[in-house]
Amino acid sequence: MKAARLHGAGDLRVADEPEPDSPPAGSSLVQVTSMGICGSDLHWFEEGGIGDAKLRAPVVPGHEFAGTALTGPHAGARVAVDPALPCEHCEQCRRGFRNLCPHVRFAGHGELDGGLRERMVWPDAQLFPIPDEISEDGGALLEPLGVAIHAIDLAHLRLGDDVLVVGAGPIGILITRLAGLSGASRVFVSEPLPHRRAAAAADAEAVWDPSELADGLAEATQGRGVDAVLEIAGNDAAIAAAVDAARPGARIVLGGIPDDDRSSFLASTARRKGLTFAMVRRMNEVYPRAIALARRKAVDLDALVTAGFGIDDAAAAFTSAAARAGLKTVIRPT
C-alpha cells in the first residue's frame, strides 16, 4: 500500500509500505478515503515539529481523516476517526478529561502514524459511523469541527453575547458559525487574508482586516468591547488584539499554536480588566455532537474544501496548504 511519510522539515515522501498487520481484538482495518491538512500538520511539515514536540523518526502525518471500515463491528460502513488515543487509566481520563491525558497518543504526532496512507488499523472505540448526509471529506472534517465545538464550550457563551473571532482559517470559520448557533447576538471576525474574510462574512456581523479591528470594534460596541474572544491565529499580535477587544471580566479562549512555542500579552491590561484565559487542547468527547450538527446541515463542512489531491501528490498538497491560498486542502488516499 502507499503511505506518505515525513522525514524532516519539507521532506514528505510517498512510498510503498507493507500492509498493516491483522487487527487485534478491539481494532479494525480502515481504508482511508479523505484526510484534511490542519495548521498543526503544517507546523510539522514546515518546522519538523510543533511546540516542544520534535520529529525524531519518520512519521505518517495527518489527524483529520475518515474512511471505510474493512473489518470489525463497523465493517462496510464509512467511519470518522478520532485521532486521540488516551490511556483511559490516569486521573484526567477517569475525570472525563481525556483530551488532557498526559499519556495520550495522537495520530501523526510523535511516533504514532497518522492518516496519510491507504489503510491503517485503529481502535473500534475511536471509530464513528458517518451518516449518509455527510460526505467523505465532511467525515474527515468532523475533527476540526470537534475542535471548534470544544473551543465554544470553553468560551462559556451566554445568549446575547458579543463575540470576536481572531483568525478565520477553517476552525475560525467554524467557530464563527457555532457562536451564532450558540446564541451570540453578534459575531465579529478579524482576519488578514481577503478570501478568508469573505468566507467568514456569511456568519459574521462584521469582518475586518486586523488594521481595522480596533476602530471597527470601538464603533460597533460603543467602546464597551466584547464578552468573549476566541483567538485562532497563533501569534502575539492576535492575542494582543484579543486582550484589547475584551470588555472587563471577559473570557478569552486561546486556540492558535505559535511558531516558537511562546505566547505573551500586556499583563497590565489583562489584569486590570480581570480577564479569564482558557487554552484549547484539541477536543473532549465531541464527535457525536459534531456528527449531529453536520448531519442536519447546521454547518457546511464541504464548503471549506478548496483543494483536493491524491496521495501521490501529497507533498504538493502540503505546499499548497502552506501557502494559505484557500481554506481546507484534503488528500484522498484511495
Write the pLDDT tens digit of every residue in 182-192: 999 999 999 99
State residue 155's pLDDT score: 98
Share of the chain above pLDDT 90, in %: 94
Whether residue 266 sits in one domain with residue 155: yes
| CA–CA distance, 313 with 154 (Å, rounded to integer) | 37
Establish if 170 belongs to a structural domain. yes
DSSP H helices in 99-235: 136-140, 142-155, 170-181, 194-200, 210-221
Please check whether residue 275 is in contact with residue 239, taking contact to mean a CB–CB distance below 8 angstroms. no
Domain of 268 in residue numbering reads as: 148-279
Instruction: Indicate if the alpha-carbon torsion angle 302, 306, 308, 313 is positive or negative.
Output: negative
Whether residue 127 sits in one domain with residue 210: no
State residue 261's pLDDT score: 87
Residue with cell 525524531: 56
Whether residue 10 sits in one domain with residue 132: yes
| CA–CA distance, 298 with 16 (Å, rounded to integer) | 40
**Taking 90 as the threshold, does the pLDDT of residue 292 lie above it?**
yes
- Count of the separate structural domains present in the chain: 2
Establish if 295 belongs to a structural domain. no
Q: Where residue 238 falls among pLDDT bands split at 50, 70, 90?
A: very high
Establish if 202 belongs to a structural domain. yes
Q: Average pLDDT of 132-143?
A: 98
Threshold 0.75, pTM exceeds: yes
State residue 260's pLDDT score: 84
The 10s digit of each residue's pLDDT in 8-37 is 999 999 999 999 999 999 999 999 999 999
| CA–CA distance, 98 with 20 (Å, rounded to integer) | 27
Whether residue 256 sits in one domain with residue 309: no
The 10s digit of each residue's pLDDT in 261-286 is 899 999 999 999 999 999 999 999 99
Whether residue 179 sits in one domain with residue 113: no
